[in-house]
Amino acid sequence: MELRRAEHHIYKLQYHLVWTPKYRRAAFAEPQRHDLKAVLEKVAFDHDIEMQEIEIPPDHVRALVALEPTMSVQAAGLETRGLAPRVVHTMSLSASESSLIVCHG
C-alpha cells in the first residue's frame, strides 16, 4: 500500500486481524475457505475496508487490512466478524460449530 493523502495529513494504517474458533478447532475445510474468503472480501468492499491479504488455515482466519484514519480497528473487526457465524452456518456446518467463532484482536 502506498501512502495516502488527505487534505491535511498523509497516512498509512495497516492492521493484522486474527479470528479463531473457540479452542482453535479446525473449523474451516477447503470448500468453505474459498466461500468465506469471497464473503469477507465483499463485506470489506461494502464498508470501505481494504483487505490486502487474507489467509484461512483450518483453525483461524488471518487478514491484513488498511483502514482510513476515521475508522477504528474495533469497528472494522466488528463489521467483518459480525457475518462470520452466519456465513459459517450457511456453509452447511453444524449450528454448534458456527457458534464457536470468537475474535482476538
Concatenate the DSSP letters of all residues of 46-75 into one string.
HTT-EEEEEE--TT-EEEEEE--TTS-HHH
Q: What's the rounded Cα separation, in Å, for the pair 91 and 77?
A: 21
**Type of residue numbered 84:** A
Domain-wise residue ranges, the chain: 4-104
- Residues 80, 41: contact at Cβ < 8 Å? no
Q: What is the pLDDT of residue 97?
A: 46
pTM higher than 0.85, yes or no?
Answer: no
Q: Please give the chain's pLDDT, 105 residues, in tens.
A: 588 888 888 888 898 988 887 787 887 788 778 888 888 888 888 888 888 999 999 888 898 988 888 888 888 777 766 665 566 556 544 444 444 444 444
Choose which CATH entry (3.20.20.70, 3.40.50.300, 3.60.60.10, 3.30.70.1290) describes domain 4-104. Answer: 3.30.70.1290
